[in-house]
Amino acid sequence: MNRPKKTEFKFPTHIDEYPTGPQYAAGYLPETNAGWRSVRPVVDHDACVYCLRCYLLCPDGTVVKDNGKITFDMDYCKGCGVCAHECPKDAIEMVKE
C-alpha cells in the first residue's frame, strides 16, 4: 500500500493563497497522527504466522507487508491495539512508549 506523503503546510501570507471557498486540492496531508499514541505494537516474529488478520483490521491501514514480515508505519499508528486484540497467535504486544 502506498501511504500518502506528508506535505509541509505553510500558513497563507497573502489573501490570494487562500482557496476560493472551502474547496481545495485533495490528498493534502499536513500532519501525521503518531502523536496520538501512548502504546506501540511489537511483533513476536517467531509466533507470527503471517495470517494478515492485523493487516485487514487495522483501522488506519498502518500494517505493512514487508517481505513476509509484518511491520508498522509508525507515522500513522495511533496505538489503538486492535491488531494485538485480534491476533489469533497473541504475537503482538502493546508496549508503553
Partner 1 sequence: MKSNKIFISGDEAVAQGVRLSRPHVVAAYPITPQTITVERLAEMAESGEMEGEYMHVESEHSAISATMGASSVGARTFTASSSQGLLYMAEGLHYCSGGRWPVVMMNANRSVALPWSIYGDQRDSLSLLDCGWIQVYVEDAQEALDMIIQAYKIAEHKDVLTPMMVNLDGFILTHTYELVDIPEQEMVDKFLPAFQTPNKMSFEEPKNLGFSSKPDDNTEFKYQQNEAMFNSIQVLKDVDQEFADTFGRKYDGMVEEYRCEDAEVVLVALGSVCGTIRVVVDKMRAEGKKVGLLKIRYMRPFPEAEVKDLAKRVNAIGVVDKDISFGYEGTVYTNVNSAISKIDKYVYKSNFVGGLGGRDITKDEIEEMFNKLFSGVENKSEEKVEFFSLNVESND
In whole angstroms, how close is the CB of 16 to partner 1 at the nearest point? 9
Could you say whether residue 31 binds partner 1 (CB under 8 A)? no
Q: Which is nearer to partner 1, 2 or 24 (CB)?
A: 24
Q: Please check whether residue 58 is in contact with residue 78, taking contact to mean a CB–CB distance below 8 angstroms.
A: no
Nearest Cα to 69, choosing from 89, 51, 94, 82?
51
Q: Which is nearer to partner 1, 24 or 68 (CB)?
A: 24
Could you say whether residue 18 binds partner 1 (CB under 8 A)? yes
Could you say whether residue 88 binds partner 1 (CB under 8 A)? no
Q: Where does this chain touch partner 1 (CB under 8 A) — which range of 16-24, 47-55, 58-66, 82-90?
A: 16-24
Cell of 91: 504475537
In whole angstroms, how close is the CB of 2 to partner 1 at the nearest point? 15
78 Cβ neighbours under 8 A, 6+ residues apart? 33, 34, 36, 37, 60
Neighbours of 77 (CB within 10 A): 22
- Cα 60 off chain centre by: 5
Task: Please give the residue ranges that form the binding site for partner 1 (CB under 8 A).
Answer: 11-12, 15, 18-28
